[in-house]
Structure 1
Amino acid sequence: MNIRVAKTAGFCMGVRRAVDLALETVEKHGGTARSFGPLIHNSQVLEFLKERGVRVLDDIPKKGSGAVIIRAHGVPPQTRERLSRAGFNIVDATCPRVIKVQTIIETHAARGHAAIIAGDRDHPEVSGLLGYSDGQGHVIDSLESVKSLPVFEKAIIVAQTTQNIEFYDQIKKWAAGRRPHYKIFDTICHSTARRQNEVRDMARRADIFVVVGGKNSGNTRRLAEVARESGKPARHIETEAELDPSAVEGRRNVCVTAGASTPDWIIERVVKKIESPGRG
């Protein structure tokens, strides 16, 4: 059996930065800190952070104190303002790539542009982006959904930073032909693009993909989606415990990739499980 691990598998810059900031914040604030919502979409890393003093704050109290970390996905500006008014010291772990999209939306909303966001409506990044649109935001998840929107006099089109590249290309192509006056921005982050493109390249030699990462991780789900679109089977697992040995049994070429919030230690355990399926 040949096992090939994607070069792009594992933490991206934004996730690594958020985790480092969280650990630094705990150290600076007497061994405890809170993140507003889960810092990233990986249960194992969240447990690691919890053991080191990072707790999750789900609701904003009337009065608070200490440090609150803004999650890597970002939050609406209204949420940030409420946290500040409550008395928290805000530590911003929003991914710089997400901040770039927030800024694009906010700047154009001030000029009267509607914001069309290609993304998952329930994803925290998209919820945060909508908050910058001044009530002029519209989320689309298919070509049909963008076609159903009214024709805006002024509009921009952006994508969730972890969106499927091929899907967004369809949106851009349609808009260029049917809504040429809309401004289109390429906001899928380079890390996402490289991961998806590597999966497409690996598919030529893969018999099966094992995609490692949180089940609620948008970028990890997208990798599994891209793998299946290539015509190859894909198993999306969070840890080695979820890998059924029979899934890779008899496969000559097993390709492993992982989402942007998956730590190296989990990837290594999955590879060991594939190499020695009888263990663990």
Structure 2
Amino acid sequence: MFHSFFKLFHLPNLKNKTTHLFSIAPKRLLIASHPRMWIVGTGLLLLVIAFFCIRPELARNVGDSLPISEAHASASHTLPETASLIKTDLMQTEEHSKLDELKQKQRVASWISKRYRIAGKASNLFVTTAYKTAFDIGLDPHLILAVMAIESRFNPYAESSVGAQGLMQVMAKVHADKFEDHGGIQYALDPVVNIKVGAKILKEYVKQKGSVELGLKSYVGAAAMSHDGGYGAKVLTEYRKLKAVASGSRVPVLVQAKSVSKRSIRQKKVINTAPLTGQEKKESAISDNPALL
């Protein structure tokens, strides 16, 4: 029996049988031309499969040692770490930004409190509202604060003879529509409402006119006049000081009065003796009262 079984694996007999079985495409199949190699390879493959079935942990170790597996494993481990590092960096940057803004607010509020002799609590409220409003509408907070400084010297109850009210001297009746979202014009003297409405008006003028200088000219009500009585220059001067204070620079709190020579006083008297025209009277009124809108 065994003799007949092993006789089947005799090379001439096996070759004849495989040639008969694969005679359809003998040129394309390696099995027909190398039957012994096929038998040996199949046997080895079966042995490897049987071995890994008995010892599955070896199969896992071999798989983990492959370059592709290592790359995949390293990627799966490093990606979350990298993402967490990036997230941490962004959070730290945001925290530094908030801390820097807080320091700016503190510097500016302290400087305004000393310069304009107002309570620290009120100064903090004005500065905080200006920063938040500026962020909401896309305007520099120090420009808003500079307008408040020139318009009312940070007096929330200031009111001009023509009806301009509050910190930013807003003409409430003229801009009544802008108070609708804040309860109406009866809240024109509310510091927070006044800052928000005044800043919105200023932003619209700057956007319409194309520059801060022309926007300030319109804000003070001198758009149709040849000059604004120096209003824009005063605001921008105060703006630069506030920017310097926010950055940590030392800016004097007290205003230095300019000395006026006797000659300039005489010249002023001579100039003022001439009668003013209608246009000059309007411009003079703007110069004397820069709170007009």
TM range (shorter): under 0.3
Normalising to structure 2: TM-score of the pair? Answer: 0.21
Higher strand share: 1
Normalising to structure 1: TM-score of the pair? Answer: 0.22
Q: Which has the higher contact order (CA 8 A, sep 6+)?
A: 1
Q: Quick check: which has more Rg, 1 or 2?
A: 2
Higher helix share: 2
